[in-house]
Structure 1
Amino acid sequence: MQPLQLALDYFQRVHHCPISNWQKNNRCWALETKDLSAPLNNDFDINQLGSQCNTDIPLITGAHGKIIVLVKLNQQKLILIGPVSADQISEPHQTFLEGVCLIQNLISATNLHASDLISQTRYFQELRQAQQKSAAQHLFNAHETSFRHNPYDEEQRELNAIATGNKEQLKKALNESFTGSYGTLAQNPLRSFKNLAIVDLGLVARAAIKGGMDYEDAFSLNDSYIQSIENARTADEIYSITVNGKFEYLQLVKKIQQKSLASDHPLVQRVKAEAAIHLHEPLTVATIANHLHVTPNYLSALFKTSTGMALKSYLNLCKINASQNELVYSSLPIGQIAVNYAFASTSHYDQTFRKICGVSPRRYRQLHQKLE
C-alpha cells in the first residue's frame, strides 16, 4: 500500500471522520465514488472552494460548527476531509492538524506543521480577525470606563519572592493595596475568578522553576492546584487555594536553595553568611578574606569557580537587593538608604544600583513604591 493511502487510513481511524476523493469534470468537482458517509450541506460549495485550493497547502473552512479540509493532489483531483466538528481540531492534545500536514507533505513534498496551517489558512485567519476585532472593542470599552488592571510591579514582587524563597517579601506583596482591578476572563463571575487563579498559579509555577525547582515537579503540582480550583465552589475557596499554592511553591524553592547552599564549598557558604549578616557594614573582598583567614585572590577565584559570579558583584547584589525593599516600602531619603547599606556615597549607591537594576534608585521608587 502506498504511503499516502496508509496515512489516510490511519487518519480516518484515529479521527473518525469521512475522507472522500473528488475529481474535476467539465469545470465541476464531483465525487469519484458515492460513498461519502457525512454528506456536505449547502454551507460548502466544493466548486468554489476547489478553485481556491492550492497544491502546496490545505484549504480549511468552516460553517455552523463544522469544518472541512481540502488537500489538492493536482489540478484535477483533490481529497476532502470532513465535515467534522470544529471542536475536533481545537483540542490542544489532538493531532488533527499535524495529520493533515502529513497528508499534504506526502503529496507535495512540503514540510508543513500545524503552526503553518494556523498562520496561513483562511479559516484561522478569520478566527484571528474576529479575535482582533473583539480585542479592539474590549480595549475601547476599558478606555471609556477608565478601567485599570492590578499593577504589574506588585505581581513581579510576588513572583520574585517565590523565585528567591523570600517569605517576608511574599507576605508584604500579598498584603499590598492597589487602585486597579482584576480583569474579567469569563461572563460567569466564579468562572472568571477560576481563570484568574489558574493564570496566577501558572506564573507562580514558572517563578518556582526560575528559583531552581524541577519543571516536571512544578507543573505536576500546578496541575493538582488547577484541579482543586476547578472543584472549588466559592471565590473565597479559590483565593485560599491560590495563596496556599504560592506559599507551598515558595517553601519548596527555599528548601532547594538551602540544599544548594549546603553543597557549596565551606568557604563559599561562610562568604554568603557573612554577606547576609553584615549588609549594613562596609563589605569588601579584602575584609571578608581577612575574616576567613585566606588571601583575597584565593577567595575571589574560589567564589567565581563555585558560583559563576565575581565575589565583588555578589556583595553588591546582596546590598542592592536588600535596599530595594526600603525603596518600595519606606519613605527614607535615598541618601539615608545609601548610608544604611554602607555605600561610600549616594552617587556610589546610585551608580551600583543602575548597573544592577538598569534604573536609578529614584526611578525604581517612582515605579514601585508601596507605602503601607
Structure 2
Amino acid sequence: MDYQSMCEHLAKIIKVPIREYDSNHRLRHVFGDFNAIPSSLEEDSNALEMYDELNKMTLPVAFSDKNLLYTAVLYVEELSCYFIFGRVKVPHADQIIQRHSYADLETICEAVSLFYDYLYDQKISIFDILSSSMDESSIQAEISKKLGETAFQYQEMGELHNPYDQEQREQASIREGNHDKLMLSFQESYAGRVASLSKDELRSIKNLGIVVLAISTRSAIEGGVHSEQAFLLSDSYILKVDEAKTQNEVYNIVRGAEIYFTKLVSETKEIKVENPLIFRTKNLILKKMHEKIVAEEMARELNTTQHIYRQFLKRKQE
C-alpha cells in the first residue's frame, strides 16, 4: 500500500504537515515540507490519547477542536499506525507567543475523507467524521435536561411561544408576494412570547432574527426568486444583524428584509412566462458575478451561437 505519496500531496494541499505514529505513539514520519521547532508536535500526544479514550468507536476516526484549531486522528489497522491531520506549532520571533499552522474544519475533513477512501475504497462524509467523536447518549441526556428546565420555566411564568399560525401567514405573504397581507401579519397581536435563544438578550434577538431570515429566504425562493439571489441577500442581511447594536436595529433589519423579499416575489410573478434563454443567462451571470463575462464563453455554456447571444445582450441593453 503506497500511502506515502498520497500523504505528501495531501499535506501540500491542506498546507499543514500530516504526521504518522506507530501503535506505541512513536513518531514515524512527517509528510510535507515543514520548518519545525522542537515543540511543533507536542500537542499530538493529547490527540492520540483522546483517540484511544474514544476506543475507536464506529469509525477509526476521532475529531477534536481547540480554540477553532482542528485535529483529526485516523487509525489504520492494516498498518498499525495513526495519522494526524491538523494543527502544529510554528516558529515565532517571540517564543512566549504560541502560533499554530492549521486548516479549517472542512479542509481537514475532506483530507481525511479522501485518504480514507484511498485506503479502504469507501467514502465517509464530513458528518460521519464529526459524529464519530460525539457521545450521542450524553448529548441527548443534556438536551432532555435542558428541555425539562425550559418547560418548567415557561410553566412557572405562565407563558407560551408566539403562535405558529401567525408565522405561517407571514411566510405565506412572502411566497405570494403580497405586501398588504404581510403588513397585516406584522400587526397581529398574540399572547405568546418569542423564543429565548441565548442568555444574552441582544444575542437572543439576533439569533431569532437570523432564524426568521433563513425561513423568509426559503419562502422567497418558493415564491419564484432565484435561489442564488435570495441567498446572497440573506447573507448580507445576516451580516447586518450580526453588526447591530440594539434590538430595535435588529427588528428593523429583519422586517425590512421580509418586505424586500415580498417585493422581489411580486416582481418575479409579474413576469408570467420568461424566455428560457433569458432565465438561463440570468442564472449564469449570477454565478459569474466576480468574473469577467466573455460573450463567446457564455454562448458556449448556454449552448447557443455567439450571434444569437450578442443579439440577446444588445436587446437587454436597449
- The answer as to 2:89 corresponding to 1:77 is no
Q: Alpha carbons of 1:47 and 1:75: their partners in 2 closer, same or farther (altered >3 Å)?
A: farther
**What TM-score, normalized by structure 1, do the two folds share?**
0.58
Q: Deviations over 1:285-336 (max 9, x none)?
A: xxxxxxxxxxxxxxxxxxxxxxxxxxxxxxxxxxxxxxxxxxxxxxxxxxxx
Structure 1 equivalent of residue 41 of structure 2: 38
Alignment partner, residue 257 of structure 1: 269
Distance in 1 between residues matched to 2:178 and 2:51, nearest whole Å: 63
Q: 1:95 to 1:262 in 2, by over 3 A?
A: closer
CA distance in 1 between partners of 2:51 and 2:174 (Å) = 57
Structure with bigger helix share is: 1
Offset, 1:174: 0.9
Query: Which stretches in structure 2 are left out of the alignment for 5+ residues?
Result: 31-35, 90-101, 276-318
Please tell me whether the aligned partners of residues 217 and 230 of structure 2 are also in contact (alpha carbons under 8 angstroms).
Answer: yes
How far has the Cα of 1:163 moved from its partner? Answer: 0.3
User: Partner residue of 2:52?
Assistant: 49
Aligned-pair Cα RMSD in Å: 3.4
**1:22-37 pair list within 5 angstroms:** 22-24=21-23, 28-32=24-28, 37=40
Partner of 2:171: 159
Report how many residues are paired: 250
- CA separation of 1:234/1:73 partners in 2, compared to 1, >3 Å: closer, same or farther? same
Residue 139 in structure 1 maps to residue 147 in structure 2: yes
SS at 1:32 equivalent: strand
Q: 1:30 to 1:173 in 2, by over 3 A?
A: same
Letter aligned with residue 196 of structure 1: L
**Over alpha carbons, which structure has the higher Rg?**
1
The Cα shift of 1:74 comes to 1.1
The equivalent of 1:108 in structure 2 is: 120
| Unaligned residue ranges in structure 1 (runs of 5+) | 264-372
Corresponding residue for residue 300 of structure 2: none
| Structure 1 equivalent of residue 204 of structure 2 | 192
Larger RCO, structure (CA 8 Å, separation 6 or more): 2
Aligned to 2:218: 206
Amino acid at match of 2:41: A
TM-score by length of 2: 0.67
Partner of 2:82, secondary structure, is strand
| Separation in structure 1 between the aligned mates of residue 170 and residue 194 of structure 2, nearest angstrom | 16
> Could you tell me how far apart the structure 2 residues matched to 1:175 and 1:249 are?
18
Q: Give the structure 1 partner of residue 316 of structure 2.
A: none
Distance 1:48 1:130 in 2: 18
In structure 1, what is the equivalent of residue 286 of structure 2?
none
Per-residue deviation at 1:202? 1.1
Once the two structures are TM-superposed, the CA of residue 180 in structure 1 deviates from its matched residue by 1.5
Report the more deviating stretch, 103-112 or 32-41: 32-41
204 and 173 in structure 1: CA distance in 2 versus 1, 3 angstrom threshold: same
Q: Give percent identity, aligned residues only.
A: 26
Match of 2:232 among 220, 223, 229: 220
Contact 2:73 2:82 in 1 (8 A): no
